[in-house]
Structure 1
């Protein structure tokens, strides 16, 4: 679809979103607060503290409007003012106990509002919604940043070109923060979707900590999906832990395959898997194995498309919760 053809449908959808979420009303999110105050509490609560200047930039509001709003929130007991360690003239704003309760109520209201809307859609469409909104919101922010730069330089807004959104890239090798980020993505997804707890998180962390120092050996590799500098997906091939004393190359173990919440269904997982399978084939492994469990249907379709087949299935609890464990095997490609 050409950019011009997309403008009117996006404008129409944006207006409907604004109306359905309640932004046309005097108050928002089940509170007695206007939309700007609700957003201020969300931003301050999410970052621990902000100055008035920082809040102006985040909310895209004039300083006078933000100042009036903050005075009301401080007076109502929702916010507290404190000194800044870096600027004696600035005051840092934090939530009071009352403000934290208000924010919790806002979060609960919004979670129910969005969750009930998503329930009207097939689960397979959720990732599409998330990715589309993320890209659109990011483009609006980029356009504002470009326009602000144009004003500072005395150029008309129309002369500022639209910024290009860089695609997520796949890179081979260790990066700072890899272990922590991979553990976090695994722990959050499997806790929410399958009830896994501390035992699972500990197992992932211990396995990665043991594996990463072996990346300098042939047959071991890890890939990260990067959105800018942020890790949004990982996958590793461990060429040693299943091979035992067999002559190299033996059995490749596919491990720590995860894509960040909100990005599944857009092809990123397939890109990671294609990189890994290319490495396996070039390295000449006799076969590749992975362990998962019943119920991860989207992942299973990816595995089968890459040449894996279910080889074994049995009850197990190696991840800290009783599940039906599955072993998939992909034979060597000539």
Structure 2
């Protein structure tokens, strides 16, 4: 575990050095004017705030008060801001941006944007979108909003083949199931595609990458089977599985199914606890030597309160 953490720390520090160099490149462009990106951000906050003091800025920008004070003195000397005494606190001064300050900020902002546009134009459109999505994911994760970076959608063309592929890869790696299991999954998905009106498949994405999926297929008018439930290893344990199962169960309620069942393997304790939390109970166990000689299949059922 420790080695994994240290490896991640190393990768983060590597990214920080790389990104700092990129920001430095942008900053050099802005430095063709007399002001830096840090100073441009101070101007932006003064302009955006209805009422702004130096202490407000220091808190918002998390900037050293002494460094901020030097920036503000320079701005006042250059005519970019003006100050007035606070009506509520005689010790504080309200900062206001001047017309010259607004014009200066627009120049700085335009220069920075032009440099970023030139950087983006080096990338294909798809790569640009991936870059922006990944940046948003970093913000969400480091601000404690991990859930917002994961979206759940209905399946689209191409997803079904990928679902079979990931089942084949992960189940071989984790449970030593061979190509016969992948064939079984693929055949069940093909059967679904022949009549997709009988059910639905949902796909979870993070930063444009598929990280999980789940499906439901109607077996009869009142009975449905939960199928193709898989979460990528790096995304397990964070609540995504519960969200996907909740999505399926809500769908079953809407479609007036009163009985849902699923087949899984013995020994998947995390999945078992999840199913039990939704009311599923173990109803059948049987040996299955088709894919693995030591495999015990389990059937879980739940009755829904649907009239």
Assess, with a 3 A threshold, how the Cα gap between structure 1 residues 333 and 195 changes in structure 2: closer, same or farther: same
The CA RMSD over aligned residues, in Å, is 3.5
Structure 2 stretches lacking a partner, 5+ long:
42-60, 62-131, 141-148
Alignment of 1:47-66 (within 5 A): none
Is there any run of 5+ residues in structure 1 with no aligned partner, and where? 1-113, 119-128
Name the structure 2 match of 1:33: none
Question: Could you give the per-residue CA deviations for residues 5-32 of structure 1, whole angstroms, max 9, x where no partner exists?
Answer: xxxxxxxxxxxxxxxxxxxxxxxxxxxx
CA distance in 1: counterparts of 2:182 and 2:168, whole angstroms:
5
| C-alpha distance in structure 1 between counterparts of 2:153 and 2:17, whole Å | 27
2:198 is aligned with 1:203: no
In structure 1, distance between residues paired with 2:242 and 2:25 = 38
Q: What SS does the aligned partner of 1:262 have? A: helix
For the residues of structure 2 that align with 1:192 and 1:211, how far apart are their CA atoms? 26
- Determine if contact 1:200/1:320 at 8 Å carries over to the other structure: no
Q: Please state how far the C-alpha of 1:177 moved relative to its aligned partner.
A: 2.6
Tell me which protein shows more helix as a share of its residues.
Answer: 2
Which of 245, 255, 266 in structure 2 is aligned with 1:283?
255
CA contact (8 A) 1:199 1:320 kept: no
- TM normalised by structure 1 equals 0.52
Q: Aligned to 2:23, which of 123, 134, 147?
A: 147
8 Å contact from structure 1 (residues 314, 325) kept in 2: yes
Supply the distance in 2 between the matched residues of 1:270 and 1:141 (Cα, whole angstroms).
37
1: CA distance, partners of 2:179 / 2:252: 32
Preserved CA contact (<8 Å) 2:223 2:259: yes
Residue 228 of structure 1 and its aligned partner are, at CA, apart by: 2.7
* TM-score (norm. length: structure 2): 0.56
CA contact (8 A) 2:176 2:292 kept: no
Q: Report if aligned partners of 2:30, 2:37 keep a CA contact under 8 Å in 1.
A: no
After superposition, where does 1:2-81 map in structure 2 within 5 Å?
none
Corresponding residue for 2:246? 274
Q: 1: distance between equivalents of 2:212 and 2:268?
A: 17
**SS of residue in 1 equivalent to 2:267:** coil
1:131-168 per-residue CA deviation (whole Å, 9 max, x = no partner) reads x97x9689859955972673375274546899532611
Residue 229 in structure 1 maps to residue 105 in structure 2: no
Give me the whole-angstrom Cα distance separating, in 2, the residues matched to 1:256 and 1:227. 19
Tell me, in whole angstroms, the C-alpha distance in 1 between the residues paired with 2:229 and 2:21: 35
Cα gap change, 1:267/1:151 in structure 2, threshold over 3 Å: closer, same or farther? same
Q: Is the Cα contact below 8 Å between 2:280 and 2:300 reproduced in 1?
A: yes
Partner of 1:11: none
Tell me the alpha carbon deviations over residues 63-109 of structure 1, each in whole angstroms, 9 at most, x when there is no partner.
xxxxxxxxxxxxxxxxxxxxxxxxxxxxxxxxxxxxxxxxxxxxxxx
Which residue in the other structure is 1:307 paired with? 279
Shift in Å, 1:205: 1.5
Match of 2:146 in 1: none
| Of 181, 195, 198, the match for 2:162 | 181
Which residue does the alignment assign to 1:168? 150
Tell me how far apart the structure 2 counterparts of residues 209 and 255 of structure 1 sit (CA, whole Å): 13
Q: CA deviation at 1:324?
A: 1.0
Q: If you compute each CA radius of gyration, which structure gives the higher value, 1 or 2?
A: 2
- CA–CA distance in structure 1, aligned partners of residues 16 and 298 of structure 2: 44
Number of the residue aligned with 2:66: none
Compared CA separation, residues 305 and 177, structure 1 to 2 (3 A)? same
Superimposed CA distance per residue, residues 305-324 of structure 1 (whole angstroms, 9 cap, x where no aligned partner): 11111111121235454411
